[in-house]
Amino acid sequence: MILFLSIFYSVLSKLKTGNCFSIKKRKFAVHFCDITMLDKVKELIGEVKAFKATTKEEVETFRIKYLGSKGLLKELFKEFKNVDASMRKDFGQALNNLKNAATEKVNALNNAFENTTEENHIYGDLTKPSEPISLGSRHPISIVKNQIIDVFNRIGFTVSEGPEIEDDWHNFSALNLPEHHPAREMQDTFFIEKNPDVLLRTHTSSVQVRYMENNEPPIRTISPGRVFRNEDISARAHCIFHQVEGLYIDTDVSFADLKQTLLYFTKEMFGKSKIRLRPSYFPFTEPSAEVDIYWGLETEVDYKITKGTGWLEIMGCGMVDPNVLKNCGIDPEKYSGYAFGMGIERIAMLLYQIPDIRMFYENDVRFLEQFKSVL
């Protein structure tokens, strides 16, 4: 009760001792009385913001009223010293807001009138050069991925995608990598759950399993996507990277078809027409091979990237193992096919001479802006 009474008296005394003043001009008059004063300024801000004009003269009258040398703001600022100390901060802020609002309004209206041609009322000067639009750029991984898709689209391959979180079957077992198979060690895996295993896919070959399970031959598809391996991060390796898997299944598909497709790809993608296939091992293909392209030894860079041999390894490939076909519900007596897989970062690094794989994931605009000219 005592507290209530004391608050009541303090408010009352403020009102009684309140400092009142008024501003009178020929055309307008505003009266202020300290507590209501702040509200009044706020009201004026509202009026200023809502102000509209149909002629330049109206804008000028408005400007003189608020911002003129004998205008409202001048007078209000003069009265600032009479304002109760406790309210000065709020009042000062409100006055500044009023000033800014009035200045902005006058500028905006003047601009609008200047840009309106008298004769046809078209807004703006149409001959003016336009504002520069700041264009973004595609990420180099997207650029290379799209180029690879383009090349394979032209020979009838579709694009298919699959989940990044996989089960054991699609990432390993169906691909002829049963439990305890030593080749599993080659792909250090991030497990999300064990028994049954849920993991981050270690390669996009998992998508070929899903595709075969859900589609009948003939199959021609490529599957680009992100893959994950528990690798130490360095200039050459990362725990996240991107691959494109390729799969072709039909009757009477031979190794010659595979080789011809790869040759077509390397010509289109790199402008190189010499490849070699080195015998290799992948559990899901038999026979398997590594594909090298002849890059040449013309420049110092060629020497560097090919380690002086002129040859560059770009992907793995092979004829799909009959066991894999069987696992995915395709009759290996009737159908055969080939598959291949490549790393997108590796190709992008080659094409753009990017020295460190980590640059792809740092989101440094100085790096990314360099790809503006490539679509």
Question: Tokens 């990432």 sit at which residue?
Answer: 171
Does the protein bind ligand DAH through residue 337 (CB under 6 A)?
no
Is the peptide bond between 217 and the residue preceding it cis, with omega within 30 degrees of 0?
Answer: no
Q: Among 21-29, 84-92, 297-305, 314-322, which window interacts with ligand DAH (CB under 6 A)?
A: 314-322
Q: Considering beta carbons, is residue 188 or 362 the nearer one to ligand DAH?
A: 188
Q: Among 60-68, 73-81, 334-342, 349-357, which window interacts with ligand DAH (CB under 6 A)?
A: 334-342
Does the protein bind ligand DAH through residue 203 (CB under 6 A)?
yes
- Residue type for position 244: V
Q: How far is the CB of 186 from ligand DAH (least distance, A)?
A: 7
Judged by DSSP in three states, 200 sits in strand
According to CB under 6 A, which one of 209, 316, 330, 348 is a site residue for ligand DAH? Answer: 316
Q: Considering beta carbons, is residue 282 or 360 the nearer one to ligand DAH?
A: 282
- Residue type for position 133: I
Q: Among 15-23, 119-127, 212-220, 310-318, which window interacts with ligand DAH (CB under 6 A)?
A: 310-318
CA-nearest of 235, 233, 225 to 200 is 225
Q: In which order are the strands placed within the sheet that holds 165-167?
A: 165-167, 198-200, 191-193
CA 108 to chain centre: 34
Q: Considering beta carbons, is residue 203 or 238 the nearer one to ligand DAH?
A: 203
CA-nearest of 244, 234, 51, 17 to 149 is 244
Question: Tokens 């003069």 sit at which residue?
Answer: 78
Q: How far is the CB of 177 from ligand DAH (least distance, A)?
A: 10
Encoded one letter per residue, x for contact with ligand DAH by CB under 6 A and - for no contact, window 228-247 reads: -----------------x--
Q: How far is the CB of 364 from ligand DAH (least distance, A)?
A: 28
How many residues touch ligand DAH under the rule CB under 6 A: the total is: 11
Alpha helices in the chain, H assignment, sequence order: 2-17, 34-50, 56-67, 72-79, 88-114, 140-153, 168-171, 205-214, 255-270, 300-305, 322-327, 344-352, 365-368
Strands 285-294 and 275-282: antiparallel
Does the protein bind ligand DAH through residue 157 (CB under 6 A)?
no
Does the protein bind ligand DAH through residue 206 (CB under 6 A)?
no
Q: Among 8-16, 85-93, 256-264, 336-344, which window interacts with ligand DAH (CB under 6 A)?
A: 336-344
Burial class (CB in 10 A: 0-12, 13-18, 19+), 352: middle
Does the protein bind ligand DAH through residue 205 (CB under 6 A)?
yes
CB 284 within 8 Å of CB 205: yes
Q: Considering beta carbons, is residue 59 or 175 the nearer one to ligand DAH?
A: 175
CA-nearest of 175, 221, 179, 222 to 201 is 175
Question: Tokens 């995608």 sit at which residue?
Answer: 161
Residue nearest to ligand DAH (CB): 341
Question: What residues from 268 to 287 belong to the interface with ligand DAH (CB under 6 A)?
Answer: 282, 285
Q: How far is the CB of 374 from ligand DAH (least distance, A)?
A: 26
Binding site for ligand DAH (CB under 6 A): 203, 205, 245, 282, 285, 316-318, 339-341
